[in-house]
Structure 1
């Protein structure tokens, strides 16, 4: 995924499925300058990771 698409998903009111290494994640923040995103893994709000947006995969794309 590219930074622009990650931003679009983050800003969207729709539920858009995104996975990181096969696990569902929610994008919580996008750092456009560095191409990074902070994501919540699964349904646990305390389980977050900061990863390169290129590691994120939009499901159904």
Structure 2
């Protein structure tokens, strides 16, 4: 996923259907300099992790 689209999704109040390795996730923050995102699986905010934007897929 490109960083501009990831940022749009993170900023939007509307939930987008995004997955990481097949798992539905919520994008919390996008780091455009490092091209990473802070995400967590839906319903599991305690499992926050940083991943490469390239590992995110919009469904």
TM band (smaller chain) = over 0.9
For these two proteins, the number of residue pairs brought into alignment is 59
Would you tell me which structure has more helix in proportion to its own residues? 2
Q: Which residue of 1 aligns with 2:25?
A: 25
Q: Which residue of 1 aligns with 2:2?
A: 2
Q: Which runs of 4+ in 1 moved over 2 A?
A: none
**5 Å matches for 1:28-47?**
28-47=28-47
Cα distance change on mapping 1:13 and 1:42 into 2, 3 Å:
closer
Unaligned runs of 5+ in 1: none
TM-score with structure 2 length normalisation? 0.94
TM-score with structure 1 length normalisation? 0.91
